[in-house]
Amino acid sequence: MEATVTETERWLASFFERQGAALDQPWEAVLNEQYFDLGLVDSLGLVELIVGIEGELGARLESTHVQDPRFGTIRGLAQIVDELAAR
């Protein structure tokens, strides 16, 4: 059974939608997929994503977070952001 979608995951999916990303399946189905592989973000979009996370979610991402293997998926990135928010 798939875990419940978190508020952070919803925010991230909404970010990608605002950037013009379109999927042929529900967002819940791709939470564990690499968003670069899905074409949801490019290098400029990644910068905008980080700025958005820091500005709207209040999580300060460091280079170690970007290098974390979880960073490349919506679910993994949401976990990193939620861990930072819990500090």
Is the Cβ–Cβ distance between 57 and 81 less than 8 Å?
Answer: yes
Cα gap 46→2, rounded to integer Å: 26
State if pTM tops 0.85: yes
- Torsion angle (degrees, nearest 10) of CA 66, 25, 45, 39: 90
Candidates 42, 3, 47, 4; CA nearest to 20 is 42
Using the 8-state DSSP alphabet, how is residue 7 labeled? H
| Cα–Cα distance for residue pair 67/85, rounded to 1 Å | 18
Contacts of 61 (CB under 8 A, 6+ apart): 50, 53, 54, 80, 84
Q: Encode pLDDT of 58-82 as tens digits.
A: 999 999 999 999 999 999 999 999 9
The rounded Cα 35 to chain-centroid distance in angstroms is: 8
pLDDT, tens digit, for every residue of 9-23? 999 999 998 888 878
Whether residue 2 is predicted with pLDDT greater than 80 in this model: the reply is no
Residue-range domains of the chain with CATH: 12-85 (1.10.1200.10)
